[in-house]
Structure 1
Amino acid sequence: MRRATGKDRRGCHRRVGVIDERDFDATMPLKTMQLPPAIWFVVPIAMVIAVIAPFDVAFTAVTMHSAVLRAAVIAIVALIGAAVAGRLGLRLEGHGVRSPVVVGVAFALAVAIYVALLDGIGFRWLLPADYVTFLRTPLPSRFSYFMLRAFNENVIYRLFVFPLLTWAALRTVGRKAPVALVILACAILTQMLNIGTNVVAPSAEPLTAVRLIYDVLRYVLPGTLWALVFWRYGFVIAEVASVTCHLFLQPLFSVLI
């Protein structure tokens, strides 16, 4: 199916929601950027989740363990991220195919199967004991923990860090590198920052070559995929994919672990 097209300033048709050099203007001031309507769906949910728990290590430190600060900061983070994303041509609402939500659910199922096989079979011996214990707790508690965490992880890293990093990279390299390559690199770097902060740094386990390979396969690849889903199909669809993933993944863990 062909993607929807729009017209640029010269009247030429182009694919909307896809960053290219014509979309990017690093000199445009932030105050002139318009916020998409979907952000007013994302922000309240993110604020409620932030009040419930911070989840992210860096976010906890910045907000000084204050629920009020967490709610305020996550709202600011989401609004800034949405503004910069819009400037880059990244869209929040689903787009690109007739049923983008179905695409999101398909990605969720595929990643759930991949991660379940990785943790339940491929690297079962490497899983920390406390992680295995938690994966044996009742499903409702795991659903609430992982799905709430996934939603705000997307807000912080996919909606905020990823567009800002992409904006800075494109401003630096301009037309010297293919835009798609810049986007991919920024998606990977964003997830590496996330995992370095929330998985590698707090871990008491020694960082061996095998564990590093596992972390890349288990955490970096799925997180990078969510950023690319945001790029191609919209941020809301990235949220659908990463949050819904746990509806499939946690029952699979109950069987395999």
Structure 2
Amino acid sequence: MTQQSRLLQLLAGAALSCTASVAHAHFQLLYVNDTAMHKAQELEMAAVFTHPFDGGPTMAMGKPLSFSHISSHNGEKTDLLRYLRPVDWQSRENQARAFRATLPKAMMRALGDHIFVLEPEPYLETEEDLYIQQFTKLIVNVGGVPGQWSDAQDLPVDIKPLSKPYANWTGGVFRAQVLADGKPVPFAQIEVEYLNHGVELDKNAFKSEGEVKSPQPAFNTLSTYSDAEGVVTIGLPRAGWWGIAALDIGSTKTYKGKALSQDAVLWIQARDMQ
């Protein structure tokens, strides 16, 4: 079977399940105000399970299974679970449990890249009768010194950046590779969403008004596929935050007797040229 025929076969299969895919469209958000910091400072973070473009509804999170920090300085992995605190997060449509963390300045003192990885508790999506677990990654840079931003993490599912995730101009493109158990995933189903409602960390809330209005609901969640090498390329037409999710790529397919979708999520930030 040729690569082209294989892709057509997979696309046809995806079309048969398009209803479930559209309903999925959840994103585990891992947020900071700025991913390109000039110097070390205390870091405020939020973890919210939501629909980014619509600003909600937001789904109640269970306590994350793991939350970690990997520094460029020595590659040391630090457990951050003790920093998490539950909050009631206000979205455009509802209020639901999310998590905040305040990380000390000392943790961000090293110049270079700081990788944050969140492993949430699987969420039961009752409308689809399946569990969703999104392994979510965010990379913050201090001082402009490059580090290990392109390193894959030891995760069941991962999106490995091929472009710096914190240094993107509006109008550019971003490339990444989808991995499962460290191996490329060809023709993975990809969803992309813009964080359309600004984050107000001091209020644990999304802003009620979105930045843009889509001409039709299909524009809220953009869909594509990785190529034969697991590589995906997306455009960045607007400044702000973009979430990339590779759906149902994990080898573990069940949880508590129901289907499990293990997704990989990466958040990147784009900026306007001034």
Larger fraction in helix:
1
TM-score, reference length from structure 2: 0.24
Which structure exhibits the higher relative contact order, with contacts defined as CA atoms closer than 8 Å and separated by 6 or more residues? 1
TM-score, reference length from structure 1: 0.25
Larger fraction in strand:
2
